[in-house]
Amino acid sequence: MSDPVIGIIGGSGLYAVAGLEGAGWRDVDTPFGAPSDALFEGRMNGMRMVFLPRHGRGHRHTPSSIPYRANIAAMKAAGVTHLVSVSACGSFRDAMAPGDFVIVDQFIDRTFARDKSFFGPGLVAHVSVAHPVCPALSAACAAAARAGGARVHEGGTYLAMEGPQFSTLAESRLYRDWGCDVIGMTNMPEAKLAREAELHYASVAMITDYDSWHPDHGSVQIDEILKTLHGNAELATAMVAALPSHVSGGGCAEGCDRALEHAVLTAPDARDPGMVERLRGIAGRVL
Ligand SMILES: CSC[C@H]1O[C@H](OP(=O)(O)O)[C@H](O)[C@@H]1O
Ligand SMILES: Nc1ncnc2[nH]cnc12
């Protein structure tokens, strides 16, 4: 069994991680273009860790312009096995308050202006995302977040919207009626791509606001979000430091690391050689 390598994709408010030993930034490129930024690589409590700020340092990428495929391909090429997404989000539930963490276990994908798959014409594959997160890694994140002092809700449905504008009041009420718990703009297609890349993936959503549905809180405003982000980032930093004590290598009940086992449909002699070459780093195990 190979040693786990933890990847962290930091969202709004989390542009660096503290405490990585021997760490440095490394510029990388992928067959899907450059990722959002260089990779920050080092060791946390002896375990290899790779950090990538999703919007880039200085927050240069919009949710729609983030190079999701390059980000996941860069993590995979860096040897990451366990990928933790950290995101800011709005809440649809009274009980999920600003400052709380939600360990997301389901998504509704309402994004429409993003590349959603590594595969395509000449190399077709269909993976299951019925259970889109890794249960073992999610449990590890919950334990690490609690150890870092966060109030944690295990399980929650994340509505991924295109943005960059926040939702209208009608949309906010609709998503709440659909049974969604939190809303953000970035976890899709990230989670789908992580599954295609056979990575264990977990999503830690840090609540910054009540979106716009809440009668006592009015419309979501970015200045309110920014006030909450600072405290959330400190809790996230503590969670990241605690993660190596809770992550172990090997498989999981979902079989994240075998997701492509029967997924490729294109017959070997019908495959586009250029696509096969491009997908080598993602799907080489089954090609
Ligand atoms: C800071 S408000 C909106 C912005 O924050 C979230 O980003 P991320 O998921 O990367 O933390 C949200 O999805 C929006 O992109
Ligand atoms: N209310 C909200 N909607 C979408 N993305 C968010 N990120 C933080 N709060 C959000």
User: Vertex 25, ends 67 and 37: CA angle to 5°?
Assistant: 15
Looking from the CA of 225 toward its CB, the CA atoms found within 13 Å total: 18
| Helix 68-77, helix 187-196: angle, nearest 10 | 40
- In the residue annotation, 216 being an active-site residue is answered as no
Nearest Cα to Cα of residue 144 among 234, 243, 47: 243
pLDDT in tens, 238-283: 999 999 999 998 889 999 999 999 999 999 999 999 999 999 999 9
Distance from C-alpha of 133 to C-alpha of 283, rounded to nearest angstrom: 19
Under the banding of pLDDT at 50, 70 and 90, the label for residue 2 is: confident
User: What does pTM read for this prediction?
Assistant: 0.98
209 is catalytic: yes
Residue 144 in contact with ligand 2 by CB distance below 6 A? no
pLDDT in tens, 141-186: 999 999 999 999 999 999 999 999 999 999 999 999 999 999 999 9
In eight-state DSSP terms, residue 101 is E
- Which of 100, 105, 181, 211 is an active site residue? 211
The ipTM is 0.99
Pick the CATH number of 61-286 from 3.40.50.300, 3.40.50.10860, 3.40.50.1580, 3.20.20.70: 3.40.50.1580
pLDDT in tens, 184-236: 999 999 999 999 999 999 999 999 999 999 988 888 888 889 989 998 999 99
Nearest atom (ligand 1) to Cα of 66: 10
**Positions at the binding site:** 12, 54-55, 87-88, 185-186, 209-211
Place of tokens 């495929």: 69
Q: Which amino acid is at 204?
A: V
What residues line ligand 1, using a CB cutoff of 6 Å? 11-12, 54-55, 63, 87-88, 163, 184-186, 225
Match 């979902």 to its residue by tokens: 254
User: CA–CA separation, 154 vs 139, rounded Å?
Assistant: 8
